[in-house]
Structure 1
């Protein structure tokens, strides 16, 4: 179950409680769930009971109990606890079915995994100065909010550099807007688009401008071109390229991922989604990677809401790091005379999903994801 699935599950429980007259309160348009903070209980937490308590005329703890009854039995939910004044804390079911649901969602949606309609009712207008970092940031914010269903228009105070087009930037209007618009105001880059393109190229320039939070200075040195692990952009793109190479390698060996396998190919005494042991699917080094993939839709929505493309960059770095930890500990391809097994197919499915998420995230930042590096 992804965070977006969990949000819909809780919202459905509210609908049920109201329909059954157990709760008399207006149903919210959406329910927000967040990762539990360090030291907290469960995987995710939600304050919907506190939100509804006033309208329902009930203590938040009572509202939480009403909702817990209706959420606890849902597929993908392992445990629901009530904490503090009425927070609902959720521990997700770590079973193979829940894991497969994440991989199936990535496979079904491809690079659009994590896109949604949470902002579909919003029409947004952003305005920025004639400055390259502001222009690139506004473009990335445009991509993010569109991915969540919003309509958006970008204006700039005056005509920009011709080289902005080489960075993928488009502007809808120029001049001072007649009404105040939401400003995009990152710390300026201190260089022109022409200078950055000549020295770094388009992809490294966009990463260098977008990776830091907008209130931080953007480091734009030659380290962005280093072909090594010290360069986060290289590591992210190399993880994507390695995932694609695994697919090619598996095809050369005549097998596919678990999600692609035919009934004959998947036949095995072991679960087709087993990785580390017979006891639990996708445990060990696979678990952090799978959890990051499950959390990806929430990260994209948060980045869109907060106009913060740097959150996407950090998410991609985390996915790349977890991918290499998993890859090195649980090789998706057999070695030597070893024959492909169900475990290899399941590992390959996870690696392919990671590659898809990396490609989709880079696309939202306006950065290419080459299949070969």
Structure 2
């Protein structure tokens, strides 16, 4: 079971509990359940407050709903442990993600995101709408996230919506920042607009123009460019990526979490959640890059091919994440 599968598994457990009479017939199973990484100090790997949502319709305490769901989900293959905490939070422990499955899922999401970003560019008219520059940028990014959330082909809508289903309050740019696109370029300006919650006023600084570690914007795009450079360099050495087992727990965890980040960012209308995740992923990839290519007299091996496949998958996820933000991902920097 992957983290992305967990949401659908929880929905299925709610529906079966209602059908079997363990939960009141008036209980309604949500179409989607947001599962997120457990916060520091929490229990398990992932958590969801779905019991509170179901309990409102069922007319019973959330803890009772959570206990029913925990018994059912604890028997699901691929879930190592389920624990109920607090008033009814469900907490899960999943097996460590495997590199081949992470690489495969990254490729599937890439196809979906390219379809979404190709269509979403036309979903919101580019003409003057009376909206502020930042409001257009935030709304377009949220629209893409809503279309791409979950990152699987079965989640992709047949037709992209033309507008958000409900209002989204967005703080405008400060008067002094009306020319930020001209000052910093559209990609850097968009990053700054999306890196803070929509209700907060973004802050722009010269760090956006720095090509070094001090700039998160640079690090994300540089990590993507490095992943592409690794593939080019490997080709010159005569080997190509091939998915296999890799000992890279930090990078694997971040890649496995990516569908949940897309889901959470879409659910909360919060592109800043995606920007934070991309920074973490970029930093993990930049640390990992030194293990990918053969060193000295080493000959390319299956381990090198597997590491290259993982690095390429990480670069693909970075490019897709930037596309959802409306930002270019250059292959060379």
Relative to the length of structure 2, the TM-score reads 0.81
Paired position in structure 2 for 1:81: 83
Take 2:269 and 2:93, find their aligned partners in 1: how far apart are those partners? Answer: 29
| In 1, Cα distance between equivalents of 2:169 and 2:59 | 41
Which residue of structure 2 lines up, in the alignment, with residue 303 of structure 1?
Answer: 265
Task: Determine helix, strand or coil for the equivalent of 2:80.
Answer: strand
Distance in 1 (alpha carbons) for counterparts of 2:111 and 2:185 = 24
Offset from partner CA, 1:148-189 (integer Å, 9 cap, x none): 4562338xxxxxxxxxxxxxxxxxxxxxxxxxx725432424
Q: Which residue of 1 aligns with 2:154?
A: none
SS of residue matched to 1:182: coil
* Residue equivalent to 2:92: 90
Please report how far the alpha carbon of residue 54 of structure 1 lies from its aligned counterpart in structure 2 after TM superposition: 6.4
Deviation larger for 244-253 or 104-113 = 104-113
8 Å CA contact 1:24–1:56 kept in 2: the answer is yes
TM-score, normalised to structure 1's length?
0.73
Stretches of structure 1 that go unaligned for 5 or more consecutive residues are: 117-123, 155-180, 260-271, 276-285
**Alpha-carbon separation, structure 1, partners of 2:301 and 2:317:** 25
Structure with a larger share of its residues in strand: 1
Q: Residues 102 and 21 of structure 1: is their aligned pair in 2 closer, same or farther, counting only changes over 3 Å?
A: farther
1:246 aligns with 2:261: no
The corresponding residue for 1:48 is 50
Give the Cα–Cα distance (whole angstroms) in 2 for the partners of residues 28 and 252 of structure 1.
Answer: 51
Q: What is the CA–CA distance in structure 1 between the aligned matches of 2:224 and 2:91, rounded to whole Å?
A: 34
Paired with 1:54 and 1:107, the residues of 2 have a C-alpha distance of 39
2:245 to 268, 273, 291: 273
Please give the root-mean-square deviation of Cα atoms over the aligned residues, in Å: 3.2
Q: Partner residue of 1:342?
A: 302
Considering Cα pairs closer than 8 Å and 6+ residues apart, tell me whether 1 or 2 has the greater RCO: 2
CA contact (8 A) 1:133 1:189 kept: no
Question: Residue 370 of structure 1 is aligned with which of 312, 330, 333?
Answer: 330
Distance 1:209 1:58 in 2: 42
CA contact (8 A) 1:115 1:300 kept: no
1:312 to 264, 271, 274: 274
Q: Deviation at 1:318?
A: 1.2
Distance, in Å, in 2 between the alignment partners of 1:296 and 1:249 is 27
Structure-2 residue corresponding to 1:153: 163
CA distance in 2, matches of 1:146, 1:191: 34
Deviation at 1:61, TM superposition (A): 4.8
2:318 is the counterpart of 1:358:
yes
Q: CA deviation at 1:146?
A: 3.3
Do 1:80 and 1:89's aligned partners in 2 also have CA atoms closer than 8 Å? yes
Bigger CA radius of gyration:
1
Q: Which has the higher helix share?
A: 2
Q: How much has 1:370 moved relative to structure 2?
A: 0.7
CA distance in 2, matches of 1:67, 1:218: 41
Report the CA distance between 1:42 and its aligned residue.
Answer: 0.3
User: Does the CA contact (< 8 Å) of 1:273 and 1:346 recur in 2?
Assistant: yes
Equivalent residue number for residue 281 of structure 1: none
1:130-169 matches, cutoff 5 A = 130-148=131-149, 149=157, 151-153=161-163
| CA distance, structure 2, for counterparts of residue 51 and residue 115 of structure 1 | 32
**Aligned counterparts of 2:83 and 2:289: Cα–Cα separation in 1:** 35
1:225 aligns with 2:197: no
